[in-house]
Structures are given as C-alpha cells and as structure tokens.
C-alpha cells in the first residue's frame, strides 16, 4: 500500500511575528566549529516557508513510498496549490479519489507518478492526471 495523506489544513498566519532565533553561520556537519554566540535575530517560519498563504496547506505523510526523497512516515509537507507542476517536482496528486505524494515525470507517453522507494510501482494514470499541489518543503521529524 502507498499509504495516505492527511490534509492538516491551511497555513494560519498570525499577524504578530513569531520568530525563532537564527544563526549567522551555517552549522558544519563535519568537524565542530569553535564558534560562540553567532545568533543574528529571529526568523519567522511563516514568511520563510510560505510563498502564497491562501494556497498553502500542510499535509501529513502516511507511508514509506518516498523515503528515497527524504520524505518519511509522519513528516509534514508544505504544499503550494498555486504552483504549476513541472517535470521532477514532488507533487500531491489525486489517484483513485485519494491523495498521494509522488515525483512527477512528464514522458512522451504521458505523465508518471514515481515513488522514491523500489518496493512501489510507478503510477501511469489512464485518464487525466489531477495534481492537487506542489510540495515545497518537507518538515522531517528526528525521532529518538
């Protein structure tokens, strides 16, 4: 089974800034940096993650068909319904009246919805493909 997606809802934006401190330096993933106190104000995640508020939704992933793209069961996806999908985008599509997340490939024989896990098959819609929205960000949770 490909799993399912739960639409959490539209992104709500509070008019008051809700900042999180942001560092001025990147954090190296190799050797630790001796940097100390390199924080430079706050970042508002709404303005950082949302391009078009009325068209942006969060959906929660249920399943493992996209693990090769770094999308895991329980992650939340920021989806912009105002974007036109292009070849290679990760999209939310309607298949058999259900939402699914897959990578869109536009081929000479028509569009394909490709999983990023070899345990799943590519979906080749028989009729018109309905793309519900384009995934812009994956909020991946690190589990302990």
Active site residues: 65, 102
Cα separation, 135 vs 92, in Å, equals 7
Q: How many CB atoms lie within 10 A of CB 80?
A: 19
**Is the distance from CB of 79 to CB of 134 less than 8 angstroms?**
yes
Q: Which residues 6+ apart lie within 8 Å of 64 measured at CB?
A: 3, 72, 73, 117, 119
In the chain the first and final C-alpha atoms are separated, in Å, by 26
What 15-21 contacts at long range (C-beta under 8 Å, 24+ apart), as own/partner pairs, is: 17/42, 17/44, 18/44, 18/45, 18/46, 19/43, 19/44, 20/44, 20/45
Where does the chain have alpha helices with state H? Answer: 45-49
């Amino acid at each position: 089974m490909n799993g399912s997606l739960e639409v959490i809802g539209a992104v709500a934006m509070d008019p008051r800034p809700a900042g999180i401190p942001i560092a001025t330096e990147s954090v190296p993933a190799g050797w630790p940096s001796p940097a100390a106190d390199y924080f430079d104000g706050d970042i508002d995640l709404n303005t950082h993650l949302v391009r078009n508020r009325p068209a942006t939704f969060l959906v929660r992933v249920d399943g493992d068909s996209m693990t090769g793209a770094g999308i895991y069961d329980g992650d939340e996806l920021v989806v912009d319904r105002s974007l036109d999908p292009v070849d290679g985008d990760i999209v939310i599509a309607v298949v058999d009246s259900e939402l699914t997340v897959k990578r869109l490939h536009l081929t000479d024989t028509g569009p394909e919805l490709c999983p990023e896990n070899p345990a799943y098959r590519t979906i080749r819609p028989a009729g018109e493909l309905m793309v519900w929205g384009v995934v812009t960000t994956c909020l991946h949770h690190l589990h302990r």
